[in-house]
Amino acid sequence: MACRLLAMRAASYLKISAPYRGYATVLKDLKYADSHEWAKIDGKLATVGITDHAQDHLGDVVYVELPEVGAQVKQGESFGAVESVKATSDINSPVSGKVTEVNEELSSSPGLVNGSPYDNGWIIKVEVSDTNELGSLMDSDQYSKFCEEEDAKH
């Protein structure tokens, strides 16, 4: 219990939303899709990855299929896949635009998606073509609630 309390205190200090159940970390300054991808918006650039909740459900990631730099992605549509010991899952883009960078490190170290889903495990960077789409994404509180409701159904 002391460990959980310490983790909650650390999460609070780092401005991370940590629900009591503690099943997944949700960062405050990101936008979330209902298919469990996140986007960190910096002007017209979005860094995209899969959420802690998603990687936790997938299990150990063994392969990440990446798009080409320059590829067009569309909000809600698949641009790649994550393969784990349990399953293969499509990765859908939370935003539309042009891929400006892919995380090449994932080719040799796909486990970064598990160990650091919001930092070193990012997947692509996208030049956002329609910032109005961001309004359809969830904030951290909405996403936490969405995950709790989804998990309660299973």
Give the pLDDT means over successive 10-residue stretches in the chain (154 positions): 40 38 75 97 97 93 97 98 93 98 97 95 97 95 92 79
Q: Which pLDDT does position 25 carry in this prediction? A: 84
Beta carbons of 51 and 23 less than 8 angstroms apart = no
Q: What is the DSSP letter of 67?
A: P
The vertex-153 CA angle with 151 and 154, nearest 5°, equals: 70
Domains of the chain (ranges plus CATH)? 30-152 (2.40.50.100)
**Which pLDDT score, from 0 to 100, does residue 121 have?**
97
Q: What is the CA radius of gyration of the chain?
A: 15
pLDDT at 10 (0 to 100): 41
Taking CA atoms, 71 is separated from 54, 68, 102, in Å, by 24, 6, 10
pTM of structure: 0.83
pLDDT computed for residue 41 by the predictor: 96
Please state, in angstroms and rounded to a whole number, the distance separating the CA atoms of residues 87 and 54.
12
**pLDDT at position 152:** 85
What's the pLDDT at 23? 54
The pLDDT, as a whole number, for residue 5 is 36
pLDDT of residue 7: 42
Predicted confidence at residue 26, as pLDDT, reads 85
